[in-house]
Structure 1
Amino acid sequence: MAVHHVSVTLACVSGSADTMPPPGSGMVVPPALSAIHAAVPQHGPHILTGPIAVAGAEPGDTLEVRIDAIEFGADWGFCGHRPLFGTLPEDFPNRFLSHIPIDRAANTCRLPWGMELPLQPFFGVMGVAPKPSYGVLSTKEPREHGGNLDNKQLGVGSSLILPVFVPGANFSAGDGHGVQGDGEVCINALEICLTGTFTLVLHKGGEPLRYPRGETATHFISMGMHEDLDVAMKTALREMIAFICGRSALSPDQAYQLCSLAVDFHVTQTVNGEKGVHGMLRKQLLA
């Protein structure tokens, strides 16, 4: 049962000082981002906006995050790779940084080597506070509480459903991405400042979630995260089987076969320590 709705708008900035465009580039750094660089010691790797406490949220509840709108906060973004990071650190031992302008009117970005890509903005990091027993965590690894999911399906019109682990839930967002391929293989998407408007819906009762789930206009999404991609795949599959059984009269055996026949599993990202897999089931199959 949904017991509380609240709409929030979060202005989010991205990028450390050493990823900013050079003087004379014509690319303007948002003043808020410059102020953060000047005043805040960098522990990283992300700058998040939040947390937002949701009145009445308690451990065991579910928080539905509806992504209502996303606006660009800058006319440029960056993509880079650096030593010891990414999916192929042994093949790319040097730093390589690209600054990429966007065209808001055309909804495109132009890469330094001339290619043009359509923009598909989303927040790489959306999550609630983790289990208190975990203590202080890096924002790098996605876990049960969400966080650095880097799931490009979670754009405008989609929803992210999260388990609640602390009173108030404490939702945060950041790590704006202008466009990204599944895998995010070099460690960056088009990293860019974004402002998002979200509706936070608190759900009481029902079976507590174990992992985040997603929903778009056309698909239900299961997720799994683990340092071993095989384990992440198994988790995403088990989560999808459980979802299907909870939303239909199918048995686990039937749901397992349906996943083999009709669910598309994607590698979400391979660069966050805890790798990600997500499964996509067409909604019409459970109508």
Structure 2
Amino acid sequence: MTAGKIIIDQANDFDDADGSARGEIRQFTGDGGTHCSRRGLLKLAGIGGASMILGARAHAASGIEGERDGARVVYPNQHGKVHTLPSTPETVRVGEMDPAAQAVLEIESGDVVHYQNTWVNWANEAKFGMSFAERNEIRKRYPQGPQSLVGPVSIKGAEPGDVIECRMIRLRPIDWGWNSTVKGMGALPGDFHEPYLHYFRFDAERRFAEFAPGVRIPLAPIQGAIAAQPAGDKPASALLLGAYGGNIQLPALVEGTSLFVSVEVPGAKMWTGDSHAAQGDGVVNQTGIESAMEDLRIQYVLHKRVTLSAPLAETPTDWIALGTGPTLEEALTAALRQMIGWISAATGLSWHDVYALCSIDGSFRVTQYANQTNSNYRFSSPKVVHATLPKRIFSAELQAQISRSLRPEGS
């Protein structure tokens, strides 16, 4: 893949959702253009503080009536540049992250990447209304995996041993999606003898999808795959999960939340794909409402010298640690150990104390469960459990200490 050039257009402001605009945007094109100009910078994402503004969808997804002071995860009043990165044949890889891929953008810590009109799975070949048989032929052409991954985005100064915080600024899906199950896939591979495919259209405001008469699904869009490039000289499957990220599939990772992943190669080289308009814990039939984003914006913030053994997340109300393993038992214990080690080191509480807190007020949920017997892909999705501890049990001082464990510069 050949990286295109950066185009910057002259003074042409446009409005964000909250009416704010103005600054500089860098636009990637795949046509080798060299034209330069200036545009208004969207005031989207904060790089300040341990906490940031909660988007409306995060409120809806969490059921919060109001926020405690200090509970925010994203602030809109501090920002870097906004870079527009469309999905094109030059910027998308399907199913795997190739270490040989050249960065299509290089950004500063705190900048926002506006992923314009991302692709649905299988290189955007799936179309609304296709039959299962038509889609299945497309699926078989991509044994490396289904996700249309856009990137990689390089972050200046990122080195192995650092962490990238991925702040979810905006996630607005296209107007349709689907749920499907291939025979022999999902948590019950032997219970259903026919494949399943259900299409959805979304309302104009992207608030809900009608499933059936009397059944309406609220939308809470997420990115299923977010990753820094894993170490190694061979392509890495986006179906797997590591400290670098990968197949995240975390329903809590809506607008107004953050994901922390480890840097394993210089520049981090961030990828994202596999958009979902809605998804439950476990994704037990293998899919949520699979879709794409017509407007996706992620702010990437570099935190130096932070060690993670698994991805971590922060919402306005909770701290979340992910654990993976070949069985649910191993995934749960991995998530528990990750949470205990992190919170103990950050707060000074003993491992026994944090173990007790996880038992008293923690929550352990199945993030992904599948028992695949008929997969087209080279790799099967792992078993993943996420451990959650509520912020409300900690004092403001301890909340700040936990935040500083991930953001040592205080950004």
Verify same fold: TM over 0.5. yes
RMSD of aligned alpha carbons: 2.0
AA aligned opposite 2:348: A
Instruction: Please state how far the C-alpha of 1:163 moved relative to its aligned partner.
Output: 0.8
Paired position in structure 2 for 1:175: 274
Tell me how far apart the structure 1 counterparts of residues 244 and 346 of structure 2 sit (CA, whole Å). 22
Paired position in structure 2 for 1:54: 155
Give yes or no for the alignment of 1:280 onto 2:377: no
Pairing partner for 2:363 from 257, 264, 284: 264
What are the Cα deviations for residues 188-229 of structure 1, in whole angstroms up to 9, with x where unaligned? 1000111311110001124x1111000001100011011211
Paired position in structure 2 for 1:150: 249
211-220 or 92-101, which deviates more: 92-101
Instruction: Please state how far the C-alpha of 1:84 moved relative to its aligned partner.
Output: 2.1
Taking every aligned residue pair, what percent have the same amino acid on both sides?
A: 32
AA aligned opposite 1:273: S
Gaps spanning 5+ residues in structure 2: where?
A: 1-47, 49-107, 131-137, 371-379, 396-411
SS at 1:178's partner residue? Answer: strand
Paired position in structure 2 for 1:13: 119
What are the Cα deviations for residues 223-254 of structure 1, in whole angstroms up to 9, with x where unaligned? 10112111110110001101211221211111
Pairing partner for 2:166 from 60, 65, 69: 65
Higher RCO, Cα 8 Å, sep 6+ = 1
- Scaled by the length of structure 2, the TM-score of the pair is 0.62
Give yes or no for the alignment of 1:224 onto 2:323: yes
Instruction: Please state how far the C-alpha of 1:106 moved relative to its aligned partner.
Output: 6.2
Instruction: Please state how far the C-alpha of 1:113 moved relative to its aligned partner.
Output: 5.5
Paired position in structure 2 for 1:31: none
Instruction: Please state how far the C-alpha of 1:278 moved relative to its aligned partner.
Output: 0.4
Paired position in structure 1 for 2:33: none
Quickly say closer, same or farther: Cα 1:76–1:114, change in 2 above 3 A.
farther
* Residues 145 and 237, structure 2, Cα contact 8 Å, conserved in 1: yes
Instruction: Please state how far the C-alpha of 1:67 moved relative to its aligned partner.
Output: 0.5
* Residues 98 and 112, structure 1, Cα contact 8 Å, conserved in 2: no
* Residues 229 and 265, structure 2, Cα contact 8 Å, conserved in 1: yes
Return the index of the structure with the highest Cα Rg: 2
SS at 2:392's partner residue? Answer: helix
Tell me how far apart the structure 1 counterparts of residues 161 and 181 of structure 2 sit (CA, whole Å). 39
Question: 1:236-247, aligned counterparts within 5 Å?
Answer: 236-247=335-346
Tell me how far apart the structure 2 counterparts of residues 236 and 189 of structure 1 sit (CA, whole Å). 23
* Residues 229 and 277, structure 1, Cα contact 8 Å, conserved in 2: yes
Tell me how far apart the structure 2 counterparts of residues 18 and 193 of structure 1 sit (CA, whole Å). 12
Pairing partner for 2:218 from 94, 103, 118: 118
Instruction: Please state how far the C-alpha of 1:20 moved relative to its aligned partner.
Output: 2.4
Instruction: Please state how far the C-alpha of 1:275 moved relative to its aligned partner.
Output: 0.9
Paired position in structure 1 for 2:240: 141
What are the Cα deviations for residues 2-52 of structure 1, in whole angstroms up to 9, with x where unaligned? 9932211123221347742237xxxxxxxxxxxxx8xxx634321111111
SS at 1:4's partner residue? Answer: coil
Tell me how far apart the structure 2 counterparts of residues 22 and 205 of structure 1 sit (CA, whole Å). 48
Quickly say closer, same or farther: Cα 1:137–1:114, change in 2 above 3 A.
farther
What are the Cα deviations for residues 99-145 of structure 1, in whole angstroms up to 9, with x where unaligned? 11111326010114651111111111111111216x32222222222
Tell me how far apart the structure 2 counterparts of residues 146 and 104 of structure 1 sit (CA, whole Å). 32
What are the Cα deviations for residues 238-277 of structure 1, in whole angstroms up to 9, with x where unaligned? 0110121122121111111111111111100113531110
Tell me how far apart the structure 2 counterparts of residues 113 and 180 of structure 1 sit (CA, whole Å). 20
Quickly say closer, same or farther: Cα 1:106–1:165, change in 2 above 3 A.
closer
Give yes or no for the alignment of 1:212 onto 2:315: no
Tell me how far apart the structure 2 counterparts of residues 59 and 285 of structure 1 sit (CA, whole Å). 33
Tell me how far apart the structure 2 counterparts of residues 246 and 286 of structure 1 sit (CA, whole Å). 14
Gaps spanning 5+ residues in structure 1: where?
A: 24-36
